[in-house]
Amino acid sequence: MMGEQFYMTQAESCARAAEAAPLANQRDTLLRSRAVWLGLAAREQGNKAARAERERIRTEEQDHVR
């Protein structure tokens, strides 16, 4: 599993490469890749938030049992 920071770094790399790309089809491909990397970063962020929420709920349930 890759981290959110890795995905963001890849997205930034694609954006820089797209700016420097001499051909429109290269730019389009790089910008689509950037969008995918950003989507992966957002998904990872959502997964982290959901995991933290599950842990919070589990901790609360354990505290109520004691």
* CA distance linking residue 43 with residue 52, whole number of Å: 14
Please give the average per-residue pLDDT across 48-61, as a whole number.
93
Q: How confident is the model at residue 17 (pLDDT cuts 50, 70, 90)?
A: very high
The reply to whether the predicted model has a pTM over 0.85 is no
Can you list the alpha helix ranges (DSSP code H) found in 1-66? Answer: 4-20, 24-65
Please give the average per-residue pLDDT across 38-53, as a whole number.
96
In the prediction, which pLDDT does 62 show? 86
Pull the structure tokens for residue 30: 């790089």
